[in-house]
Amino acid sequence: MALREISSLEKYLGLKKPNKYSTQGDKKVPVLQNNNGPPLVGLVTIACHLVKEAKRPELLGDSAESRAVVQQWLEYRVTKLDGYTKEDIKTILKDLNLYLQDKVYLAGHQFTLADTFMYCGIHPLIVDLAIQEKEQYVNVTRWFDHIQHYPGVRHHLPPVVVLRNRIYTSKHH
Amino acid sequence: MTKEEVQGATEEEQQAQSKKGLKKQQKEAEKAAKKAEKQAKLAAEQHGAEEDDFAKDRYGVSAMVQSQQKLDRVLVRVQDLTLEKADQLIWLRARVHTSRAKGKQCFLVLRQQQFNVQALVAVGDRASKQMVKFAANITKESIVDVEASVRKVEQKIESCSQQDVELHIERIFVISQAEARLPLQLEDAVRPDGEGEEEGRATVNQDTKLDNRVIDLRTTTSQAIFRLQSGVCQLFRDTLTKKGFVEIQTPKIISAASEGGANVFTVSYFKTSAYLAQSPQLYKQMCICADFDKVFCVGPVFRAEDSNTHRHLTEFVGLDIEMAFSYHYHEVIDSITDTMVQIFKGLRDNFQTEIQTVNKQFPSEPFKFLEPTLRLEYTEALAMLREAGVEMGDEDDLSTPNEKLLGRLVKEKYDTDFYVLDKYPLAVRPFYTMPDPNNPKNSNSYDMFMRGEEILSGAQRIHDAQLLTERAMHHQIDLEKIKAYIDSFRYGAPPHGGGGIGLERVCMLYLGLHNVRQTSMFPRDPKRLTP
């Protein structure tokens, strides 16, 4: 899973030479054997490295503040989102929905690595939502729909249908 | 500690205890004496008071009404208590909804069906202290006869339906006394979901309501629901009669299942067995063959489906229509949809109070419909669902969630809660459904939906004995059992179509309720046979 995501990211960043990866441990943590240095371990570490290699530092945030926010969401993705349980789904979606109420991207007005990462992480949750639930978490689905149509992001993941109009106007029926 | 020591200790304790006990006894004796004194005093007071109770004849428990006398007393209805009746002395029969005593006064709320009025007994030259006490002690839900003068009030009484007047009671007699403990409180049964949760107020769950249906039916909500239901039947009959339909009665004990044998009740019938009718289908069709042209039928319908859902009952009231048409079965659809629209209009225009009463407890959006009624084809519906991300085969039947979703999509696009879905796949319909001449996989059949839930299923029927036999054989039906039915088409049968509506479902969906048991007076489901 993680490896596929990294190769998607490589393609998105336009890296010509694909790197070779291995995994370690039960959780299959990705490892990148770098030619000129120690091996890099972990999804976020490798991703940040690739962004630097592709000379796209703005994807990690263009100000000190947004850099911190991006790191925070990358952390959230690997600690909270990966390995979620059924009970977590509601809280995750509710919190994210509230957070995205006044934002286009996770870090504000700029597309960052946090958006692709959260998109990949939350995809399995969104796929299973009924239309009524998608409408309930309307900010999440708006952001999700935007990201899945962002050039070059979706790759191997199937598209999710998001309705533009609200069809559940009241609590009842 | 040694044994002796222990004994000593206990002895001491005992002594102390007995001392204490003595004191206690003494105290108790004193208390009892005081109490007796008090009681004697009270009794003496009461006795003395009873003797000089000037209002003795103005209240009490009446003898059981066994039709001993014909009083020419006019009982006014609560709903008629308006300003027009101010300052009149009237008689009234009502239930005691609540009573609240406050010093020399006692406030009662008297209820009659969904109407209520505030009444007051106050110590004065008409009522004595004892009468007020008697009024305050009448149990809730008792039926009383009251003579009272109607008085205008300064401030509107918000909690009652009659807000402009109150009653000053001069006489009050209990006609039927209710037991002091009610299995459920009426206020609890009409409380909207979630309201009063902070104060820890109770709501009554559905099963408790249904177990004590007689009391539950007294609530304003229930009163309104069943008045509206009566209205639906009335409007259905009136509209169809105007269109030249004839009302028919069909047998409910039948020899063969009309739509597949799986979900019928079997009853023992002398030395053989019979079924309870799932619908008057075969009989209304035979009436068409017998030249009745346009018929309808209102009566019980039985389904032995073991499904415990919000919208299935094992016995419900079916409103069935069957009519001969000239050339196209859309004539039938138009006739049925027009009937439904007339019902919706009639409800909207004549039952606004009832609708609002129900809305108070179960809020919902007003029911919307179009004129003429929206008709969609099955393929269009599939396209709409697929666009919304639903994966479905061309010949699949609609599942309940998809049905509901489609309802929302239609509402969003066309702003209607009522529409017809036409041209169902032939494979999912009963054997007597006429195939579509243009596409043999489709059929000339239709469903009607209210708020995204099916209320009517209908079709053009096969009126040709040979084709009917073929289709019956295709469905592997025993031809012997439906011989009479097939034979009725051998001697000339007009093209015809029709449909059947579930009364309870129509009421439930019109009012936006969530459970069909709410619109069935004494619901029957796999788990409920009583009351």
Q: How far is A155 from chain B (nearest CA, A)?
A: 19
CB B416 within 8 A of CB B398: no
- pTM equals 0.82
**Least confident stretch, B100-104, B145-149, B436-440, B465-469:** B100-104
* Cβ–Cβ below 8 Å for A163 and B388: yes
Contact A163 B401 (CB under 8 A): no
pLDDT at B47 > cutoff 80: no
Pairwise pLDDT comparison (A53 vs B144), residue with the higher score: B144
* pLDDT tens digit sequence for A113-163: 999 989 998 998 898 888 888 989 999 999 999 999 988 888 788 888 888
The band of B194, judged by pLDDT with boundaries at 50, 70 and 90, is: confident
Look up residue B40 and give its amino acid.
A
Hey, which bits of B303-408 come out as E strands? 315-324, 374-377
pLDDT at B13: 60
pLDDT confidence of residue A130? 87
Which residue is closest to B390 within chain A, CA to CA? A161
CB-CB under 8 Å, B364 with A173: yes
Q: What are phi and psi of B453, to 5 degrees?
A: -125, 140
Query: Which B residues 373-412 touch A at CB under 8 Å?
Result: 387-389, 401, 404-405, 407-409, 411-412
Distance CA B226, CA B214 (A): 13
- pLDDT score at A17: 77
Residue A169: list chain B partners with CB under 8 A.
Answer: 365
Q: Which of A126, A127, A131, A132 to mutate to test the interface with B (most CBs of B within 10 A)?
A: A131
Residues of chain B with pLDDT > 90: what percent? 69
Whole-angstrom Cα distance, residue B448 to residue B502? 11
- Name the residue facing B363 among A160, A167, A172 (closest C-beta): A172
Check CB contact of A166 with chain B, cutoff 8 Å: yes
Helices (H), B52-141: 129-136
Q: Does B512 touch chain A (CB under 8 A)?
A: yes
Mean pLDDT, residues B494-511 taken together: 95
Grade residue B202 by pLDDT with cuts at 50, 70 and 90: confident
SS3 content of chain A, % helix, strand, coil (to 5): 55, 5, 40
* Predicted confidence band of residue B140 (pLDDT cuts 50, 70, 90): very high
Task: State the nearest Cα–Cα gap between A128 and chain B, in angstroms.
Answer: 11
| pLDDT reported for residue B193 | 80
Q: How far is the first Cα of chain B from the last one, in angstroms, to the nearest whole number?
A: 69
What is the arithmetic mean of pLDDT over B429-434? Answer: 92
Residues A82-92 pLDDT 10s: 878 888 888 89
| DSSP symbols for A47-67 | HHHHHHHTT-GGGG-SSHHHH
pLDDT score of B108 more than 60: yes
Residues of chain B found within 8 Å of residue A166, distances taken between Cβ atoms: 412
Instruction: Tell me the CB-side half-sphere exposure of residue B26, using CA atoms within 13 A.
Output: 6
Whether B301 has a pLDDT exceeding 90, the answer reads yes
Tell me how crowded residue B307 is: count the other CB atoms within 10 A of its CB.
12
Q: Is the pLDDT of residue B248 over 70?
A: yes
Q: B294 vs B48, which has greater pLDDT?
A: B294
A172 touches chain B (CB under 8 A): yes
Rounded to whole angstroms, how far apart are CA atoms A51 and B324? 74
CB contact under 8 A, B389 and A165: no
Instruction: Give A141 to chain B, closest Cα distance, Å.
Output: 14
Cα–Cα distance, B75 to B72 (Å, whole number): 9
Measure CB to CB from residue B409 to each of A130, A167, A173 and give the nearest one. Answer: A167
Backbone dihedral angles phi then psi of residue B497, each to the nearest 5 degrees: -155, 175
Average pLDDT for residues B83-105, to the nearest whole number? 92
Q: Which two tokens stand for residue B101?
A: 């005593």
DSSP, residue by residue, B269-306: ETTEEEEE-S-SHHHHHHHHHTT--EEEEEEEEE----
Closest CA to A58 of A50, A71, A67, A49: A67
What's the mean pLDDT when you consider all of chain B? 89
CB-CB contact of B523 with B229 (8 Å): no
Contacts of A170 in chain B (CB under 8 A): 364-365
| CB contact at 8 A, A125 and A119 | no
Residues in A closer than 8 angstroms to B358, CB to CB, are none
Predicted local confidence at residue B204, as pLDDT: 87
The catalytic residues of B are: 303, 305, 311-312, 454, 457, 505
Sheet holding B294-302, edge to edge: B246-247, B294-302, B315-324, B496-502, B453-460, B445-450, B418-422, B374-377
Query: B363, A163: Cβ pair inside 8 Å?
Result: no
Cβ atoms within 10 A of the Cβ of B474, count?
Answer: 10
At residue A108 the predicted structure's pLDDT band, cuts being 50, 70 and 90, is confident
Q: Is the pLDDT of residue B402 over 50?
A: yes
pLDDT band of A53, cuts 50, 70, 90: confident
Structure tokens at B182: 């009610």
Weakest-pLDDT range from B4-18, B218-232, B399-413, B446-460: B4-18
| Chain B residue nearest residue A134, CA to CA | B388
Residue B204 CA to residue B193 CA, distance in Å, equals: 10
Q: What is the pLDDT of residue A172?
A: 46
Q: Is A161 in Cβ contact with B388 (below 8 Å)?
A: yes
Residues B526/B314, Cβ–Cβ less than 8 Å: yes
Element (H or E) spanning B507, and its range?
Answer: helix B503-511
Residue that is written with structure tokens 């952001």 in the block: A143
Nearest CA in chain B to A161: B389
* pLDDT > 50? residue A173: no
Contact B99, B106 (CB under 8 A): yes
State the DSSP code for B334: H
Interchain contact, B412 vs A172, CB within 8 Å? no
3-class state of residue B172 by DSSP: strand
What's residue B171's pLDDT?
A: 94
The answer to whether the CB atoms of A172 and B512 lie below 8 A apart is yes
